[in-house]
Amino acid sequence: MNLKVKIPFLILILMPLYVLFAADHSHKSKYVGQEKREIKSLSESDIEELKNGRGWGLAKAAELNGVPGPAHLLEMKGEIDLSTEQIRAIENLFKKMEQEAIPLGHELIELERKLNNHFANRTITVELLSVLLERVAQVHKKLRYVHLSTHLKTPNILTPEQISLYNKLRGYSSDDPCENIPKGHDPEMWKKHHNCP
């Protein structure tokens, strides 16, 4: 057999094996195991966060743009050198946030449970689905507002230096080239090139 005949013949033989192998791996869901959850759309961790008024990632728009959150500020109060007055003000913000977030978290859990149960019991209708999703969206919006609006109040309590230190301690990058020397660069040369002190 010459080479021109061998290559198409090999492709013809190997192609079904490739298709069989690829098909075997392409249908497995990334959600495997989640079908065992009581509320399929919420993990145990999600439920704990919601029940306790924790952030649940709802304030990332603030947090990752340098606007501190009260819970983390209180955890780092010694490192950020918060005054007694600042601590008191942040504790008040945190308590108010919890008072609003905890009931909303419980409400969101119950709405997700209701949605889950209607699907599990095959009692869901298009109309009911629309109503439940609208309620979930409203509660989610209120909960996110509580967390984000609380973040908005912290800069009025802190100094710019404390905010900068907070972000540094949280591991968020700075645009200052003098503070962020890329890996692989000679620190002395980098600082000289960027006129760093």
Distances from the Cα of 171 to the Cα of 46, 98, 112, 159, 162, angstroms: 23, 25, 33, 19, 14
42-65 confidence digits (pLDDT tens): 999 999 999 999 999 999 999 999
Return mean pLDDT, the chain: 89
**Residue 140 · residue 111 · CB < 8 Å:** no
Q: Please tell me which residue, 194 or 196, carries the higher pLDDT value.
A: 196
Domain limits, the chain? 43-193
Q: Indicate whether 24 pLDDT > 60.
A: no
89 alpha-carbon distance from chain centroid: 26
Percent with pLDDT over 70 in the chain: 83
86-122 confidence digits (pLDDT tens): 999 999 999 999 999 999 999 999 999 999 999 999 9
DSSP string over 37-78:
SSSTT--HHHHHHHHTT--TTTTHHHHTTT---HHHHHHTHH
Q: Confidence class of residue 125 from pLDDT cuts 50, 70 and 90? A: very high
138-175 confidence digits (pLDDT tens): 999 999 999 999 999 999 999 999 999 999 999 887 66
Look-up of token digits 């603030």: 62
Quickly count: other Cβ atoms within 10 Å of residue 77's Cβ: 16
In this predicted structure, what is the pLDDT of residue 116?
A: 98
